[in-house]
Amino acid sequence: MFEERNNLPRRPVAGSGVATVGPYLWVTPALAYLLFFWGYPALSAVGLSLTDASLGSEAARFTGLDNYARLLRDSHFWLALKNTGVLLAGSVVLEVALGFWVALYLNRSSRFGKGLLTAALLLPWLFSELVTALTWRWIFHEPFGLLNALLARLGFEGVPWLSRSGTAMAALLAASLWQGLGMSTLVILAALKGIPSRLADLAVLEGAVGWKGIRYVTLPQIKGVLLLDALLVAIKSLGAFTLVYALTGGGPGYGTEVLATYMYRLIFTFYEPGYGSAVGLSLACLFLLLVFLVHLLQRESRDLEAGGAP
């Protein structure tokens, strides 16, 4: 009898088709926006990178992978790639490390100046990158900048901060740190607030205080957030354009040229949109590679936690 009932044809539930299609209807405007403003330009850039297109010339000719082969021979591209890596690595190390220690201080501190310090950290984040770059350009200006004026008062000679490759890159890192430290601190501080207080109490009972407590209790609890914060800082640094272009212009020479400014220079200074699109797509591939590496690290971390669970 029970089997006969199961074999009976079932009547379709009213409105089941609408319920199935409904979620797709809600996301259709967002998908249309992404396809029009992101998908179409991306496909156009791919097609443009396969041609010898240049501004002011006649119809572009299809050249296949010639532009990508040119990347391998272009010393300026490799220099821009190296500078991008230096800016990315330096920004991640400085912003995540300093953000962690500042967040640790704010989490443990109950002093009156805690709110003032938090506001001071967030204030630079409210400014645009252009304002940040112009502010720091004035600070590092030679010979009338604020920093050189302070050095002169202390009896030291002024430093041509933006006229040397090494000091210009240090200036970029300082400006990036000033703008991004507040956000990294808040992200990590929120993670610290989420650590159960009983873990800290147990750590004290076990003798894990000071650095031991940070190493064996705090860091394992927030390592996922630290990795996410590092990814956000890396994405910001990898696509840095306004800060670099307004502060150093990629100079001196190509000393602080990154991939974003090199792509801009190729398209709007040397009028080579075909080759510039190839540089832009290589930058997009670096973005995807970065996200993929972080995904692998997160999955490996989850596997280790699952394997170590009783």
Annotated domain spans of the chain: 75-308
At 122, is the pLDDT very low, low, confident or very high (cuts 50, 70, 90)?
confident
Gap between the Cα atoms of 249 and 243, Å rounded: 9
Q: What pLDDT is recorded for position 304?
A: 63
Query: What letter represents residue 197's amino acid?
Result: S
Mean pLDDT along residues 48-66:
83
306 against 71, higher pLDDT: 71
Burial class (CB in 10 A: 0-12, 13-18, 19+), 240: buried
Range in 67-81, 194-208, 255-269 the model is least confident about: 194-208
In whole angstroms, what separates CA 144 from the centre of its chain? 33
Mean pLDDT along residues 230-236:
91
Gap between the Cα atoms of 83 and 170, Å rounded: 11
307 against 229, higher pLDDT: 229
**Among candidates 167, 166, 165, which has minimal Cα distance to 151?**
167
**pLDDT above 90: residue 136:** yes
Q: Provide φ and ψ at 143, rounded to 5°.
A: -105, 10
**pLDDT above 60: residue 41:** yes
Q: What pLDDT is recorded for position 213?
A: 76
Q: What is the DSSP string of 73-142?
A: H-HHHHHHHHHHHHHHHHHHHHHHHHHHHHHHHHHH--STTHHHHHHHHHHHHHS-HHHHHHHHHHHT-T
The three-state secondary structure class of 55 is: coil
**pLDDT above 90: residue 310:** no
| Half-sphere exposure (Cβ direction) of 181: Cα atoms closer than 13 Å | 21
Q: Provide, rounded to the nearest whole percent, the portion of the chain with pLDDT above 70.
A: 85
Q: What pLDDT is recorded for position 75?
A: 94
Give the highest mean pLDDT range of 6-20, 29-43, 45-59, 135-149.
Answer: 135-149
Return the C-alpha torsion angle 284, 288, 289, 290, nearest 10: 100
Q: Count Cβ atoms below 10 Å from residue 198 Cβ, excluding itself.
A: 8
Q: To the nearest whole number, what is the mean pLDDT of the chain?
A: 84
Query: What letter represents residue 212's amino acid?
Result: K
Tell me the two tokens of residue 271: 């009028």
Mean pLDDT along residues 13-25:
62
Q: Count Cβ atoms below 10 Å from residue 3 Cβ, excluding itself.
A: 6
Mean pLDDT along residues 47-71:
85
Gap between the Cα atoms of 217 and 236, Å rounded: 29
**pLDDT above 70: residue 197:** yes
Q: What pLDDT is recorded for position 11?
A: 53
Query: What letter represents residue 89's amino acid?
Result: A
Gap between the Cα atoms of 280 and 47, Å rounded: 12
Tell me the two tokens of residue 294: 């972080």
**pLDDT above 60: residue 13:** no
**Among candidates 239, 228, 226, which has minimal Cα distance to 287?**
239
Q: What pLDDT is recorded for position 2?
A: 44
CATH of 75-308 among 3.40.390.10, 3.40.50.300, 1.10.510.10, 1.10.3720.10: 1.10.3720.10
Query: 216 near 200, Cβ under 8 Å?
Result: no
Query: 230 near 96, Cβ under 8 Å?
Result: yes
Helix, strand and coil content of the chain, in percent to the nearest 5, comes to 75, 0, 25
